[in-house]
């Protein structure tokens, strides 16, 4: 019998991507303190790719330790502008600051995935998307955040590209799945290779 799949995430967007691809899976959020994992990496000057990958592997491994007979998919995403790594805004004032800093510039989303089986990482991958935000006025930022409300706090960039956040951009280089934080094409290819899904 083929081991079942588990998505180590509570993200509704990641679950939706898996469901839309026709995958049968369970979802169990990893029980890790992400900030505690991130902090020493950032102090050591780790790249945004490394931070995302370490977190994706930590999530996959924690859930795999609980469900060793399943293929467990862990994922994480960081956002970077040059050397600066961004985190989810703490409050609406922080969201305003995020959008001011990103306005008129190109930032990068770094989406990492890892697959664990039997408590061991069997595969890891990082995909990138580069997003260019148009120049935003202070008044527009205020109106935009007033419309989207607290949803702005749920994303590292203070926007949801699958919603009104799309209006903030002038150019996007990268695939939709990477932007939503789960690069589906390389993931599906690996799951087929592992015999975890129908090939």
Rounded to whole angstroms, how far apart are CA atoms 141 and 95? 9
* Element housing 124 (H / E): strand 120-133
pLDDT of residue 88: 85
Q: Which residues are catalytic?
A: 76
What is the band of 1 on the pLDDT scale with cuts at 50, 70, 90? low
Rounded to whole angstroms, how far apart are CA atoms 112 and 36? 18
pLDDT digits (tens, 9 = 90+) for 104-124: 999 999 999 999 999 999 999
Q: Which long-range contacts (CB under 8 A, 24 or more apart) does 138-141 make?
A: 138/100, 141/96, 141/99, 141/100, 141/103
pLDDT of residue 101: 96
pLDDT at 3 over 80: no
- Name the residue with higher pLDDT: 45 or 140: 140
What is the band of 163 on the pLDDT scale with cuts at 50, 70, 90? confident
**Which domains does the chain carry?**
5-193 (3.90.950.10)
pTM of the model: 0.89
pLDDT digits (tens, 9 = 90+) for 171-194: 999 998 998 899 999 999 999 999
Tell me the average pLDDT of the chain.
Answer: 93
């Amino acid at each position: 019998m083929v081991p079942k799949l588990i998505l180590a995430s509570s993200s509704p967007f990641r679950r939706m991507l898996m469901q839309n691809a026709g995958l049968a899976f369970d979802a169990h959020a990893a029980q890790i303190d992400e900030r505690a994992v991130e902090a020493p990496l950032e102090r050591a000057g780790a790249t945004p790719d490394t931070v995302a990958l370490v977190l994706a592997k930590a999530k996959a491994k924690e859930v795999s330790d609980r469900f060793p007979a399943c293929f467990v998919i862990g994922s994480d995403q960081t956002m970077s502008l040059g050397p600066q790594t961004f985190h989810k805004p703490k409050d609406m004032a922080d969201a305003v600051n995020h959008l001011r800093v990103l306005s008129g510039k190109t930032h990068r989303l770094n989406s990492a995935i890892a697959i664990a089986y039997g408590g061991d990482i069997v595969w890891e991958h990082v995909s990138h998307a580069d997003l260019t935000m148009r120049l935003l006025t202070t008044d527009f930022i205020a109106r935009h955040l007033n419309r989207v409300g607290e949803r702005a706090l749920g994303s590292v960039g203070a926007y949801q590209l699958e919603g009104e956040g799309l209006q903030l951009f002038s150019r996007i280089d990268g695939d939709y799945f990477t932007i939503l934080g789960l690069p589906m094409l390389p993931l599906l290819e690996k799951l087929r290779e592992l015999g975890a899904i129908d090939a």
